[in-house]
């Protein structure tokens, strides 16, 4: 009786399709919320303006969220600004994260999201992989930590790239055959 119970229990666990993700990206997708970055940034700017005009006291807020979205990698990088790193460290610390992880970031890279250029922080290893995996197609699906801070004087919209998926373009086989046929005639 006991062995039968163990067998049934193990069978239910091992053969439950909902228990394990179908692929590695399912876990990432379940944690990172998909957003329209352009619309989200417009809302954040309106909210900062509303805080600025409606509050008589201290005008400060912060927000951290895990987001995912499509972007185009422009292969440009620059050293991360000290102000952006300090802001990211403050917000990360306020949410209980280890702010020393921000110290691993040295560069910002230029990404184009919904036609809007955005500088995003990334570790050297991620930049190397982006350079390598976007040779054929610069479009990527980004997983980012969004750190937003309004100090009353300045609004910081910091994106820290956690991971990415490259988007390979599919070859169009029929088009090449049609072109060769037209060239012969």
Q: Check which CATH number belongs to the domain holding 40 and give it.
A: 2.40.50
59-70 tens-digit pLDDT: 888 999 999 999
- Please give the pLDDT value at position 16: 55
Q: What is the domain range of residue 100?
A: 20-168
- Please give the pLDDT value at position 59: 81
Alpha carbon separation from 17 to 14, 20, 54 (Å, rounded): 8, 6, 51
Q: How many domains does the chain have?
A: 1
Alpha carbon separation from 54 to 57, 96, 108, 109, 152 (Å, rounded): 9, 29, 33, 35, 12
* The residue to which tokens 């306020």 are assigned: 94
9-48 tens-digit pLDDT: 555 555 555 555 567 778 888 899 999 999 999 998 888 8
Helix, strand, coil % in the chain, rounded to nearest 5: 45, 30, 25
118-132 tens-digit pLDDT: 999 999 999 999 999
Q: Tell me, yes or no, whether 39 lies in a domain.
A: yes
Q: Tell me, yes or no, whether 26 lies in a domain.
A: yes
């Amino acid at each position: 009786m006991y062995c039968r119970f163990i067998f049934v229990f193990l069978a239910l666990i091992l053969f439950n399709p909902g228990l394990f993700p179908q692929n590695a990206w399912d876990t990432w997708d379940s944690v990172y919320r998909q957003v329209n970055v352009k619309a989200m940034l417009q809302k954040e700017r309106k909210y900062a303006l509303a805080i600025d005009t409606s509050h008589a006291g201290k005008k400060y807020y912060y927000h951290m969220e895990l987001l995912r979205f499509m972007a185009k990698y422009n292969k440009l990088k620059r050293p991360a600004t000290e102000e952006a790193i300090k802001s990211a460290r403050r917000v990360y610390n306020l949410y209980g994260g280890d702010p020393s992880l921000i110290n691993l970031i040295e560069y910002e890279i230029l990404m184009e999201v919904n036609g809007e250029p955005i500088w995003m922080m990334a570790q050297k290893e991620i930049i190397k992989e982006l350079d390598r995996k976007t040779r054929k197609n610069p479009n990527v699906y980004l997983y980012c930590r969004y750190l937003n801070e309004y100090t009353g004087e300045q609004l910081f919209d910091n994106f820290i790239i956690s991971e990415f998926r490259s988007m390979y373009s599919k070859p169009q086989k029929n088009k090449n055959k049609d072109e060769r046929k037209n060239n012969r005639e």
